[in-house]
Amino acid sequence: MPPLALFAADIVAVTLLVFGLYFPRHRRRDLVAAYLGVNIGVMAVASSLGTSSAGTGLGLGLALFGVLSIIRLRSTELDQHEVAYYFSALALGILSALGGGPAWQVPAMMALILVVMFVGDHPRLFRSYRRQSMFLDSVHTDHVALVAYLEQTLGARVHSASVQRLDLVNDTTLVDVRYSHPSVQRAVRPVAVATGGVAR
């Protein structure tokens, strides 16, 4: 497949990924530029190294972007779905730069990435399952009693409750809760606790 056609396919694919899937669902504007920049940057550098005479140049270039991606992911707080979009943008750029084999292979792989992200990040997929960090104004050392308290507080079925911190001096408990709500439309009943996270 001609390089220009691969580059065009990459631009179409990353546009669908960012403006068709990510931004309409999550509305985080700062990551739009990050996804577009890393995609085009990887595509440009990988395609340049791929045509160089140095056989190790491509491997070193991809390793460099791997290190840069780790630095980027550690430089700001990203949710797991945002990490998935980040690496999808990377994969699309690499596919377009290193395209080879049958003419259908690269477009098919790009389409597969988009389909997986469309399904995996769909709002209706496991929509009743949530995750929340809760800062409780009491100490809970009994796991069974803690789960019962959380279920009563959230009005939901608790699947996992992991205590992150016990403060016996201030009489508080920080717990990470994974639960499913019988009805996603029901509001969580207000309680006298301060939550340290957002339900997901």
Mean pLDDT value across residues 145-151: 91
Instruction: Say which DSSP state 133 is in.
Output: E
Instruction: Give the strand order in the sheet containing 172-180.
Output: 157-167, 172-180, 129-136, 194-195
In this structure, the answer to whether residues 170 and 92 fall within a common structural domain is: no
In this structure, the answer to whether residues 155 and 178 fall within a common structural domain is: yes
Domain-embedded: residue 200: no
Helix (H, G, I), strand (E, B) or coil at 142: coil
In this structure, the answer to whether residues 104 and 162 fall within a common structural domain is: no
pLDDT at 19: 96
pLDDT at 46: 77
CA distances from 189 to 36, 79, 125, 141, 153 (A): 40, 26, 24, 24, 7
Domain-embedded: residue 189: yes
- The last residue of a domain, from among 120, 145, 165: 120
- The last residue of a domain, from among 120, 138, 153: 120
Q: How does pLDDT run across 21-30, given as a tens digit for each residue?
A: 999 999 889 8
Per cent of the chain over pLDDT 70 is 76
pLDDT at 75: 60
At residue 79 the predicted structure's pLDDT band, cuts being 50, 70 and 90, is: confident
Q: Residue 96's domain spans which residues? A: 3-120
Mean pLDDT score of the chain, rounded to an integer? 80
- The last residue of a domain, from among 120, 153, 170: 120
| pLDDT exceeds cutoff 80 at 89 | yes
Q: How does pLDDT run across 96-136, given as a tens digit for each residue?
A: 887 767 888 889 999 999 999 999 988 888 878 888 889 89
In this structure, the answer to whether residues 102 and 145 fall within a common structural domain is: no
In this structure, the answer to whether residues 36 and 79 fall within a common structural domain is: yes
In this structure, the answer to whether residues 181 and 146 fall within a common structural domain is: yes
CA distances from 43 to 13, 51, 88, 103, 138 (A): 13, 12, 13, 18, 53
Q: Please tell me the pTM assigned to this model.
A: 0.69
Mean pLDDT value across residues 150-178: 89
